[in-house]
Amino acid sequence: MASMLKTTLLLGALTGLIMLIGGLMGGLHGVAIAFVLAAGMNFFSYWFSDKMVLKAYHAQPLDAASAPELYGIVTELAQAAKIPTPRLYLIDTDTPNAFATGRNPRHAAVAVTRGIMRVCDREELKGVIGHELSHVINRDILTSSIAATLAGAIMMIATFLRWGAIFGIGGEDSRGGIFELLAMAIIAPIAASMIQLAISRTREYQADASGARLTHHPLYLANALRKLEAANERLPMDAGPATAHLFIVNPLSAAGITRLFSTHPPIEERIRRLERMAAGQATS
């Protein structure tokens, strides 16, 4: 509930940022045009993201014959969650990682790397799959699409503002001066990116918690995260920034101040929260 509230507030902040820019611009049609363009691009992404990302990582289908243990885990947890069994795919890389995609439970897919099948035991794989199915159950693809639409609109508007301020094109109904418009053009995209990333991190915490409840064993996922973090530091994955947020652990480097712009929360904090869940289960 707390994670959903935080996500709602962050989406509201993105919406408020658009309204602030619109008020500053005094009703220029650029706000509406940018929003429609961003919505169109992300609508396409929402409907076809599963095919695009699976193709980008050359993922190959898995079935009960080629991966009986993993397929059994996915089927078991899908039945426990009362959702259709997602399609299962393999990414041929030794870096251990996994992600879920698809616009809803009926069109979901889970992709795992060859590395995660080597590194994690059955219990840890169960923790990972529980996390990924939780993204599907929680409609996180839809949430991220909405956030991307709002952030994309802000970035388009900011580009318009930047060029307009440089060339003195603000429109007669603009309520902001050149320097005010230019400042907003610089600050707004940074703020939008940080809010969008905060939404991504919040959804990761929520998927950890709901995935742990699905498996009834929070430490399954906690132990898997320890292994995955260490292995990804030793053997980084060749992943694109646009799809990094999908993976269960960040395939891109995020240290120091760059953690502010990370799509994932710190692994240590994720593990601490799971350990607290496990302790709570043990004492209840």
pLDDT tens, residue by residue, 242-262: 788 889 998 876 554 345 567
d(CA 9, CA 113) in angstroms, rounded, equals: 34
Predicted structure pTM score: 0.79
Residues 182-197: what's their mean pLDDT?
76
Q: pLDDT for 95-124, tens place per residue? A: 999 999 988 899 899 999 999 999 999 999
Enclosing domain of residue 178:
2-283
Concerning whether 132 is annotated as a catalytic residue, the answer is yes
SS3 113: strand
State the pLDDT confidence band at 279, using cuts at 50, 70 and 90.
very high
Pick the range with the lowest mean pLDDT from 58-62, 75-79, 105-109, 118-122: 105-109
Catalytic choice (76, 123, 124, 132): 132
* List of residues 6+ apart from 274 with CB closer than 8 A: 208, 212, 218, 219, 221, 222, 225
Structural domain count, the chain = 1
Q: How confident is the model over 223-232, as pLDDT tens digits? A: 999 999 999 9
CA pair distance 63, 171, nearest whole angstrom: 59
